[in-house]
Amino acid sequence: MSDRGEPMFLARETYRRRRLMDAARILPFLGAFLFLIPLLMGTEAGTSISKIYLFLAWLVLILLAFVVSRRLAANVDLTAEEGEDG
């Protein structure tokens, strides 16, 4: 083991910011998967149910993107203020 004096784990805020950035990167793939589900179901589901599902999936993606972007923006503002104080 090396005794470099560095902490074993990342700071809590840094860890959370990186996980939020990971979530933002995954959202497009989640959206593609959600939009492909009606195609995988085939013709068993009705057209109206598929349209409702797509609209709800789209709405969920918008809400998730909004939440992730707001939290990332708040973290950027906090780190900018910390940089000015130090």
**DSSP result, 10-64:** --HHHHHHHHHHHHHHHHHHHHHHHHHHHHHHGGGS-HHHHHHHHHHHHHHHHHH
User: Would you say 3 and 26 are in contact if contact means Cβ atoms under 8 Å apart?
Assistant: no
Domain that holds residue 31: 12-85
Summarize the confidence of residues 4-21 as an average pLDDT. 76
Domain count, the chain: 1
In a domain, 35, yes or no: yes
State the pTM of this model: 0.69
In a domain, 63, yes or no: yes
**82: confidence class by pLDDT, cuts 50, 70, 90:** low
In a domain, 7, yes or no: no
What digits encode the pLDDT tens for the residues 19-72? 889 999 999 999 999 999 888 877 676 788 888 999 999 999 999 999 999 988
In a domain, 5, yes or no: no
In a domain, 48, yes or no: yes
CA distance 13 to 85: 17
**What per-residue confidence (pLDDT) applies to 8?**
66
